[in-house]
């Protein structure tokens, strides 16, 4: 029998963690036996929680750790550990800005010279890096002498970024992560999603995304450290099928980020053949989804699974139904598609067709794995362009 997990922001079902608790034991009672994944409820400085100032506190606008513990008495709770980065406003980075290399936190942050000690970054190396913003680095004013220092910032919509990458191999970073695990465990958390863990490995001459074998060394440490606190982990990695298979072969659960698009594609084209071919080879230890807080994944998750011609038709239907798109800054040279994610509710992507939506949800719920239902999809939410524009 499948059990289903709910995923929601802390303020999306009732406005607070206390109201989420009331909803889970009231109208949603017995629906989500696999528990609830609460998206970052921590104090933050951007990206709706994914630029955490600290993981040790709950934003008082959402509630408290007592609310998390109350939910955990009847639902397994999953929280995010943003393992690749921390907020620019965090005490660790602020201390580095104030003291520079004299800061006890200095080794937590990654400077280009750590990878390229000879100085300038070779253009060919820079061109290989999988970019999520125009540059993988941001420049900050550091110390009393106002030195201009570059640090690695994979994500962020501002320059300099609010999201500062942290060095997974540094002892101080490992201590920071271990403390988070311990804090989660004493407050009733059962599992941890490792947000953006595919970006934690930086290595000169690579794309600095899911660098093997180093990434598996990092995952092994993260898993063993979590298990020491009776926590399980769920790596969150947008990547082609090859990488999802590599995770499964090593015993990790991962996300099935390909099936949401392929289910949509099957319904748009009235042809399930790409979906059927994918289902024959996908790992079974996966969390399935349709929509999520990021949108409907396209690339790199769909690499090699569906033709570009089909993609264009599906993407156009989503656009006609009010979708927006997040785009890759460096799409493959041989590709005409640059869409990273379709920013659209799944119900709207299907033209608010109830039968099509129920068909999509049924396929998801009966796939091998653990189905995860985003609160917007649970409520058949539709696109709200005026609010986006506002």
Active-site position among 59, 162, 236, 301: 236
The residues with which 7 forms a beta bridge, in sequence order, are 37, 374
User: Cβ(202)–Cβ(210) under 8 Å?
Assistant: no
Phi, psi for residue 151 in degrees, rounded to 5? -130, 160
CA distances from 10 to 141, 165, 259, 293 (A): 34, 25, 26, 12
Q: How far apart, in whole angstroms, are the C-alpha atoms of residue 164 and residue 166?
A: 6
- 194: its two tokens: 């490792």
Q: Kind of pairing, strands 286-288 and 254-255? A: parallel
Q: In whole angstroms, what is the distance from residue 192 CA to residue 226 CA?
A: 8
Contact 160, 87 (CB under 8 A): no
**Backbone dihedral region of 282: left (phi > 0), alpha (psi from -120 to 50 degrees) or beta?**
beta
Residue 292 CA to residue 375 CA, distance in Å, equals 8
Q: Which of 276, 286, 272 is nearest to 239 (CA)?
A: 286
In the residue annotation, 236 being an active-site residue is answered as yes
* Residue 195 annotated to the active site: yes
Catalytic residue among 59, 165, 195, 291: 195
d(CA 155, CA 221): 24
- Cα radius of gyration rounded to whole Å, the chain: 21
DSSP state of 240: -
Distance CA 11, CA 42 (A): 12
Q: Report cis status (omega within 30 of 0) of the bond before 300.
A: yes
From residue 291, give the alpha-carbon distance in Å to each of 155, 274, 332. 21, 19, 25
Residue numbers annotated as active site: 195, 236
């Amino acid at each position: 029998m499948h059990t289903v997990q709910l995923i929601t922001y802390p303020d999306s079902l009732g406005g607070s963690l206390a109201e989420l608790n009331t909803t889970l034991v009231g109208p949603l009672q017995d629906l989500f036996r696999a528990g609830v994944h609460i998206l970052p409820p921590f104090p933050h400085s951007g990206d709706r929680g994914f630029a955490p100032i600290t993981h040790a506190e709950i934003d008082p606008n959402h509630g408290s750790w007592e609310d998390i513990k109350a939910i955990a008495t009847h639902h397994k709770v999953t929280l995010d550990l943003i393992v690749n980065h921390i907020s620019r406003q965090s005490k660790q980075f602020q201390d580095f800005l104030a003291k520079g290399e004299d800061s006890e936190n200095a080794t937590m942050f990654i400077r280009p010279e750590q990878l390229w000690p000879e100085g300038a970054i070779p253009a060919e190396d820079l061109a290989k890096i999988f970019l999520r913003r125009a540059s993988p680095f941001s420049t900050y004013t550091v110390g009393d002498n106002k030195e201009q220092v570059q640090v690695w910032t994979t994500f962020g919509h501002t320059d300099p970024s609010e999201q500062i990458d942290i060095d997974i191999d540094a002892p101080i970073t490992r201590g920071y992560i271990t403390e988070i695990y311990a804090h989660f465990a004493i407050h009733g958390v059962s599992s941890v999603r490792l947000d953006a863990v595919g970006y934690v490995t930086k290595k000169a001459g690579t794309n600095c995304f899911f660098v093997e074998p180093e990434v598996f060394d990092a995952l092994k440490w993260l898993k063993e450290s979590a298990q020491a606190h009776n926590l399980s982990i769920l790596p969150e990695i947008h990547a082609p099928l090859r990488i999802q298979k590599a995770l499964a072969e090593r015993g990790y659960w991962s996300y099935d980020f390909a099936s949401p698009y392929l289910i949509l594609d099957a319904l748009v084209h009235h042809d399930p053949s790409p979906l059927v071919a994918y289902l024959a080879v996908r790992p079974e230890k996966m969390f399935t989804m349709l929509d999520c807080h990021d949108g409907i994944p396209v690339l790199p998750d769909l690499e090699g699974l569906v033709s570009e011609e089909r993609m264009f038709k599906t993407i156009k239907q989503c656009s006609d139904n009010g979708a927006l798109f997040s785009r890759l800054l460096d799409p493959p040279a041989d590709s005409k598609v640059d869409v990273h994610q379709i920013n659209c509710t799944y119900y709207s992507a299907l033209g608010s067709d109830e039968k099509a939506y129920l068909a999509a949800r049924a396929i998801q719920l009966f796939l091998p794995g653990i189905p995860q239902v985003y609160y917007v999809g649970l409520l058949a939410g539709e696109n709200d362009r005026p609010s986006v524009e506002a």
